[in-house]
Amino acid sequence: MSGNEAIAEGAIRAGCCFYAGYPITPQNELIGYMSVHMPENKRIFIQAESEIAAINMVFGASAAGSRAMTSSSSPGISLKQEGISYIAGAQLPAVIVNIMRAGPGLGNIWPAQSDYFQATRGGGNGEYRCIVLAPSSVQESFDMMFSAFNLADKYRNPVIVLGDGMLGQMMEPVWLPVAGCRLPVAVKKPWALTGCKEREQNIVKSFYMHEGDLEKFNLLLQKKYAQIMDSEQRYEEIDTKDAKIILVAYGSMARIAKSAVKSLRAKGIKTGLIRPITLWPFPVKAFQQANRQTGEQANYLSIEMSYGQMVEDVRLAVCGKARVEFLGRSGGGVPTEEEIIKKVNSIK
Amino acid sequence: MDKIYAHPKSLRNIQTHYCPGCGHGIAHRIIAEIVDELGIRERVIAVAPVGCAVIAYDYWDFDCSEAAHGRALAVATAIKRVRPENIVFTYQGDGDLAAIGTNETIHAANRGENLTVVFINNAVYGMTGGQMAPTTLLNQKTATTVKGREAGIHGYPLKISEMLALLPGVKYIERVSLHSPQEIIKTKKAIKQAFSNQIEGIGFSLVEVLSPCPTYWGMQPKEALDWIKEVMVKKFPLGRIK
């Protein structure tokens, strides 16, 4: 199946009970799949009148206690930012899938990773963070939906699954767990709006007007974010132990970087790869560990389908202790294996 | 002796933040009385607006959600779809429902969502300081139309209830007013109808309530009531629209 379909099927199996979306290329297979299979599984599917309506429907569904999700691609995700900020501010769990295309503006429909800043820095108004997961294969796209919903519920926080047009459109075989596990996972949500039967009134809101209240609430959010940074860093490491140069790439880009590592190793060049799986929290621990293992300091090369966004986090992670180089293309261009090899050879 | 007055259980017995002569307090109370009378306090979920009534949830004592400005009907759509057994209503002002949220309003209505909408039309933006609303009358002075609203520059007052009445998904629309005790009784009857419709599964029901805003109309409370009666109802005629 395609990456888009795998995400949709993963969401359904992970207990997504509510989906609202608006068509946009290159994620149309996702909304298409949901339109058929959500009702088939007695779940709610709404084709909304806009991306703005869709994210606010997710707000409502989540407020009512449902596992809720929306998906879109870059320009549509920009429209959703207001809603994502409200979801973060109201501490609602929600999953937002962004199958990135190239920008700015209408850009084009080719794959890109140029929404990294938007996804990892909040994106909407106010100070908040979304947990950002970056799958790099169709199988991982499927598997990751379980983590996405679980993390959203665990932290009552929006989770962004950040793919790109290449991953969304790519067809790969997917191992699906045995059928019959399509039941929503029951999570207790005492804060949800269900009607105030045998309890006090529940209010879902992000508004704190009294002096000092918002500051107190924001500190609570910061505490939660610190806990997430501490507990949820995820990454994959390949051949970092003895590497003189460690490539850093996520999503589809990591697939190409992986091939480059293999080719470079075959030529005797000690290369490794760190593939961040969580982009926020950024897997700082991977860099600390890589440093320990090499004994001597490796150099890093951040490879992105952008003009240099994740590289800023790599620089923060190595904290000036190593050389950090960058290779990137954007606007639909994808760095090739040959370009990576050439760049590595220019560094070593 | 029969008890003929009691404070509604669904309304907290606290002072509101509304200006003297504002209609919101009356509208809040009407809704609370209806929720009590229909026995739905434990089933009801309100979606509060952005605007003067943003903290309506501090006054009503039942489950409430916030919504971003204009998005109340998107939020309410999802709550009702997830919990069809609950009674879900939005409470929205003219800017919320008929300007920034026009899209959400039209499409929730067009999908025929089984929701109740209480639409407070006071022809002005209250919370932000009295700017022009989509429903501001021609020649009405506001903070952003200091010489009065001019059709050629600012467009015409938007009669969104009449527009919505064209949609097959809409089952009930009535325009009422708060300018006199008689009209308040009619307002309560209409809003109760809109709630009963939802309980019976009839579908999208909206009540537009003409409501005084003495502060931003630059009037005494009594003058504001008279202005509704003599001026506003000419542009926004009362009665059943659908």
- The number of angstroms, rounded, from the C-alpha of B105 to the middle of its chain's C-alpha atoms is 13
Tell me whether A63 touches chain B (CB under 8 Å): yes
CB contact under 8 A, B86 and A48: no
Nearest Cβ partner of B45 from A17, A59, A193? A193
Contact between A28 and A4 (Cβ < 8 Å): yes
Tell me whether A287 touches chain B (CB under 8 Å): no
Nearest Cβ partner of B103 from A50, A64, A202? A50
pLDDT confidence bin for B4, thresholds 50/70/90: confident
Residue A179 clears pLDDT 90, i.e. is over it: no
The whole-angstrom separation of Cα A37 and Cα A14 is 13
pLDDT confidence bin for A289, thresholds 50/70/90: confident
pLDDT digits (tens, 9 = 90+) for A189-238: 999 999 999 999 999 999 999 999 999 999 999 999 999 999 999 999 99
Q: Show residues of chain B in contact with A61, CB under 8 Å.
A: 78-79, 81-82
Length of chain A: 348
Tell how strand B204-210 and strand B170-177 pair up. parallel
CB contact under 8 A, B79 and A202: no
CB contact under 8 A, B74 and A48: yes
Chain B nearest-CA distance from A140, in A, is: 29
Residue A91's SS3 state is coil
**Domain A235-347 part of CATH 3.40.50.300:** no
Residue A182 clears pLDDT 60, i.e. is over it: no
- Sorted by where each begins, the domain ranges of chain B are 24-240
Mutation target among B82, B105, B199 for the A interface, most CBs of A within 10 A: B82
CB contact under 8 A, A194 and B41: no
pLDDT digits (tens, 9 = 90+) for A56-104: 999 999 999 999 999 999 999 999 999 999 999 999 999 999 999 999 9
Fold: same for A3-193+220-231 and A235-347: yes
Mutual angle of helices A252-266 and A337-347, in 10-degree steps: 60
Residue A335: DSSP 8-state: -
- Sorted by where each begins, the domain ranges of chain A are 3-193+220-231, 235-347
CB contact under 8 A, B79 and A61: yes
Contacts of A257-261 spanning 24+ positions with Cβ under 8 A:
A257/A303, A257/A340, A259/A337, A260/A337, A260/A340, A260/A341, A260/A344
Backbone angles phi, psi at B237, to 5 degrees: -65, 140
CB contact under 8 A, A209 and B61: no
Q: Which of A94-103, A176-185, A196-205, A244-253 has the lowest mean pLDDT?
A: A176-185
Backbone angles phi, psi at B176, to 5 degrees: -130, 180
CB contact under 8 A, A52 and B47: no
Q: What residue in A sits closest to B101 (Cα-Cα)?
A: A53
Contact between B91 and B31 (Cβ < 8 Å): yes
Tell me whether A90 touches chain B (CB under 8 Å): yes
Residue A185 clears pLDDT 70, i.e. is over it: no
pLDDT digits (tens, 9 = 90+) for A7-32: 999 999 999 999 999 999 999 999 99
Q: Which of A127-131, A176-180, A267-271, B151-155 has the lowest mean pLDDT?
A: A176-180
Tell me whether A119 touches chain B (CB under 8 Å): no
Cβ pairs A/B, distance under 8 A: 134
CB contact under 8 A, B107 and A17: no
pLDDT digits (tens, 9 = 90+) for A41-63: 999 999 999 999 999 999 999 99
Q: Show residues of chain A in contact with B64, CB under 8 Å.
A: 193, 201-205
Residue A292 clears pLDDT 70, i.e. is over it: no
Mean per-residue pLDDT over chain A, rounded = 95
CB contact under 8 A, A207 and B55: yes
Contact between A259 and A338 (Cβ < 8 Å): no
**Domain B24-240 part of CATH 3.40.50.970:** yes
Domain topology for A3-193+220-231? Rossmann fold (3.40.50)
Residue A279 clears pLDDT 60, i.e. is over it: yes
